[in-house]
Amino acid sequence: MTAGATARNLGQAAWLKAGALARLLGVLDVDGEEARVVGGAVRNALLEMPIAEIDVATTAVPDEVVKRVTAAGFKPVPTGIEHGTITVVIEKHPFEVTTLRRDVETYGRHAKVAFGRDWKVDAERRDFTINGLSATRDGTVYDYVGGLDDLAARRVRFIGDPAKRIAEDYLRILRFFRFHAAYGAGGHPDADGLAACIAGRAGLVQLSRERVRMEMMKLLVAPHAVPTLIAMADSGLLLRVLGGVGYLAAFENMAKVEAAAGLAADPARRLGALAVAVAEDAERLWQKLRLTNVEHARLSSMGEGWRAIAPAAGEQAARELLYRLKGELYTDRVLLAWARSQGSAHDQDWRALVTLPEHWTVPAFPLKAADFIARGVEKGPALGEALKAAEAAWIAAGFSEVAQALDLIADEAIERTRR
């Protein structure tokens, strides 16, 4: 064991000892070289949480990694070879394999590195103690930075000097809060880490908007997002990230009403609750966070008309809204109205409004252009106006499917457009 390490065992850990990962470790962890699983996979395994991706560290230099995995029939992809990283694909499963290293010089995300063989040095260059853990293929977990104790306490803490870690990559400010929301105990963030984040806040302007968006979207759906966002707001960091005020009460209510409606946490919807009151807010967030076009469209829709939505308006009004917006946009807007209403998360009228798509299928407008042409309406603007007027009357009539009612709607629409 490397000096200064504490260890424990993962037990059987089938994910570690079978399948593609076991084959990869069997190739790299032999003949004078060592390989371990590092970072998030070890952390999540100890917490008995799902493991999304698996990273491997090794004493073997990149050329040796490529040589070994190629000989084993695996596919090496040099995704970050200048920093010692090879993506190894085994049966369509990608594994990021990185040679042990130490930072010689750091500047933002970039760094000059030197390859090494010291697991302690490699762990000490990582961001948080809970991410500094490594596991051998027999399930032994090594900890050189106090990660096991912090994991047991559900505490997110920088490795070494927080200010130094942040200066290496200012995205770590947002990662500090995101990891606290996901893995912390839900109380106040680590005091030293929080102070360093506040002191280094000016560095946030150096980050790409895409990276900021990625961290924020993950934070918004984390288990302890509410107290974490409060901490960010209290420290002035939330305003910097959003470029506007955060509606924390609405955000907290959105989490409650999503659960009450039986819906999974949705990052775009939660961002709307946190930061969108009017359509212009969606435009600001689109630019500030480089949102996708779909996310922008959803936030724009949420900012329009949510104030007019209420169970008291009746089911016909809800059906009209659902017909115009369709599924996701309807749910977004109704949930936002509920989150900003006086109704509790247990309000059955609001719940019925949100779940309307589950028991009412949106019908298609049954009248077609041919129906109006057959009635003597010529192609052109008049035809478009007649269709529009007929659709409005059909909606107002409760989406009637009765043939006689549809004939009357068509005739009256033509008459109106000819006046």
Q: State yes or no: pLDDT of 158 exceeds 50.
A: yes
Which residues, in sequence order, are CB contacts of 320 under 8 Å at separation 6+? Answer: 395
The verdict on 211 and 298 lying in the same domain is: no
Question: How much is the pLDDT for 106?
Answer: 55
The verdict on 274 and 325 lying in the same domain is: yes
The verdict on 263 and 389 lying in the same domain is: no
Question: How much is the pLDDT for 387?
Answer: 95
The verdict on 11 and 132 lying in the same domain is: yes
The verdict on 248 and 294 lying in the same domain is: yes
Total domains in the fold of the chain: 4
Q: pLDDT, tens digit, for every residue of 315-341? A: 999 999 999 998 899 999 999 999 999
> Which range has the worst mean pLDDT, 12-16, 118-122, 165-169, 382-386?
12-16
Question: How much is the pLDDT for 10?
Answer: 84
Token pair for residue 314?
A: 């009746």
Question: How much is the pLDDT for 84?
Answer: 92
Of 335, 362, 389, the position where a domain reaches its end is: 362
Banded model confidence at residue 127, pLDDT cuts 50, 70, 90: very high
Q: pLDDT, tens digit, for every residue of 180-192? A: 999 998 789 999 9
The verdict on 14 and 142 lying in the same domain is: yes
Identify the CATH number of the domain in which residue 98 sits: 3.30.460.10
* Torsion angle in degrees (nearest 10) through CA of 43, 47, 51, 55: 10
Question: How much is the pLDDT for 1?
Answer: 47
Residue 1 falls inside a structural domain: no
Question: How much is the pLDDT for 111?
Answer: 57
pTM: 0.89
* Torsion angle in degrees (nearest 10) through CA of 384, 387, 388, 390: 160
Residue 238 falls inside a structural domain: yes
The verdict on 264 and 352 lying in the same domain is: yes
Question: What domain range is 216 assigned to?
Answer: 157-242
Of 152, 174, 194, the position where a domain reaches its end is: 152
Question: Across residues 25-33, what is the average pLDDT?
Answer: 96
Banded model confidence at residue 2, pLDDT cuts 50, 70, 90: low
The verdict on 21 and 89 lying in the same domain is: yes
The verdict on 282 and 330 lying in the same domain is: yes
Identify the CATH number of the domain in which residue 187 sits: 1.10.3090.10
